[in-house]
A = this chain, B = another copy of it.
């Protein structure tokens, strides 16, 4: 990994939320480490858990004819996680925009080793057309208060 990657983009600062997981056999690959795409699965686990923690329920959004999709995702890999490792997925709100917002994540092995940083851009959609829509005011308030 080229040195210096990441530190500029992922501003230092606290992550207000974490969820602990354990690496599954299914998530490893022949190099003996977690397969690179699975960090986006970990981001999803962190994202959904953090939204629930904030009182935002995905099913409730759907009932309001809203949905969200991911517009962009990035992963920076620092150290490998291995089978059976326990790790924390930390999440925080990044930039808030009119129809989208960013979540930033870091994955740390239980002993504190930093394994990866991720970011995802969520885009709010209105159903059933699945067109980009303004973030509803209550969700925006919740995200703003959390950021």
Contact = CB atoms under 8 A, between A and B. Distances in A.
A94 B29 CA distance: 25
Copies of the chain in the assembly: 4
A44 interface: yes
Given A35-B25, A75-B72, A99 B2 contact: yes
A74 B77 contact: no
Q: Which of A76, A97, A102 has the most CB of B within 10 A?
A: A76
A32 interface: yes
Given A6-B72, A36-B44, A58-B83, 10 more contacts: A1-B69, A1-B74, A1-B121, A2-B121, A5-B74, A25-B48, A30-B32, A30-B33, A72-B76, A74-B74
